[in-house]
Amino acid sequence: MSVVLIPLATLVDYEYLESTYGDKDVFICDTYVQEAENWEEIEGGYKKGRYINIDHHAPGERMSKFVTSTCLACDYVKKHGVVGKDSIVLINHTDCDSILSSQIMIGFLEPETRYAEASIDSDHTGRENYLADALQSCAYFQNIEKSLECLNSVLSKRKMPQDCYFQYKKRLNERQSLASSVQKGEFKQEGALHYISREKKVDTALLPALIPDSIIIGVFSPQGNGNISVSLRLGLNPPPGYHLNQQGFPDGFCGRWNAGSNTRRVGMSSGGLNPMLGDCFNSIWGTKF
């Protein structure tokens, strides 16, 4: 068995899998396979023939909650066991959730609650979590071996490699900077939105735990071309069934149920702007969006 990192820009669909991997059993972790939500539902994901998608990015109610690919991998392995020795596991990026889910699928890690919790903290809550922060920081390298080196150092309670530690400290500093902005009252609120303007884009996944009563958190920053970059994250206190991609944001805004921006390429539905958001979007974005 092996874990293969494919280019992030690769459009992964059934035809791609058929033409690239032939008769191999392939498990695609933390990487959306186009229309996988229409495949057979199984414990931990979706299946079509030899291909199984262990991924929480598929549209639909099933994945529109605080679930991660690591949670799904734990469910799959508990039910079916790890992948076979001739199987291939694919990922297209190396963040915390991709690394943990793929390593659980091949049996390097056990399907333990601590890994599921780390993936939820990295993808959804932004809570401080040593394992989550370490692995999320190593996504900078886009290198499986580097991420595993960091993972092994955390699990064995050894010092991280110096380059990993440097990225880890950058993440902690970014969280501290955002926490300081919250404490100073620099986040404004209009309707359901807590927002701030920053000179540089930030990882909005760090924000929900810092503003625990929030519904939506936004960060606005200049793109350098006269336009404004808008990044939104669903907070920890939304109404039941509240999805970001169903709020009717202006054309050009794309994302999933819990995160999005005007620099993403896919995932946004259209409709009328939800009045819960007040007038802040129109006044901040205006014609620059």
Neighbours of 272 (CB within 10 A): 7
Residue 234 has phi, psi (to 5 degrees) of -70, 135
CB-side exposure of 119: number of CA atoms within 13 Å? 27
Query: What's the pLDDT score for residue 254?
Result: 78
What CATH class is the domain 187-288? alpha beta
> Confidence class of residue 270 from pLDDT cuts 50, 70 and 90?
very low
Neighbours of 76 (CB within 10 A): 25
Query: Cβ neighbours of residue 247 under 8 Å, at least 6 residues apart?
Result: 271, 273, 274, 277
> Confidence class of residue 227 from pLDDT cuts 50, 70 and 90?
confident
- Lowest mean pLDDT across 25-39, 170-184, 210-224, 259-273: 259-273
Residues 170-188: what's their mean pLDDT?
Answer: 97
Structure tokens at 46: 């979706």
Structure tokens at 23: 């008769």
* Domain locations in the chain as residue ranges: 2-168, 187-288
Q: How far apart are CA 179 and CA 174, in angstroms?
A: 9
pLDDT digit string (tens) for 182-197?
999 999 998 888 999 9
Q: Give CA angle at 26 (20, 27), nearest 5°.
A: 130
208 burial level (CB within 10 Å; 0-12, 13-18, 19+): buried
pLDDT digit string (tens) for 83-136?
999 999 999 999 999 999 999 999 999 999 999 999 999 999 999 999 999 999
For residue 286, pLDDT beyond 50: no
Query: Cβ neighbours of residue 227 under 8 Å, at least 6 residues apart?
Result: 288, 289
| CB 211, CB 175: distance < 8 Å | no
For residue 247, pLDDT beyond 90: no
Q: How far apart are CA 65 and CA 47, in angstroms?
A: 20
Task: Name the residue among 50, 51, 149 with its Cα closest to residue 99.
Answer: 149
pLDDT digit string (tens) for 10-35?
999 999 999 999 889 999 999 999 99
Residues 50-71: what's their mean pLDDT?
Answer: 95
Strand partners, 207: none
Residues 53-74: what's their mean pLDDT?
Answer: 96
Work out the percent of the chain whose per-residue pLDDT is above 70.
89
Q: Give CA angle at 234 (204, 69), nearest 5°.
A: 80
Residue 199 has phi, psi (to 5 degrees) of -65, -30
Query: Cβ neighbours of residue 138 under 8 Å, at least 6 residues apart?
Result: 94, 99, 146, 147, 150, 164, 167, 168
Query: Cβ neighbours of residue 213 under 8 Å, at least 6 residues apart?
Result: 235, 236, 237
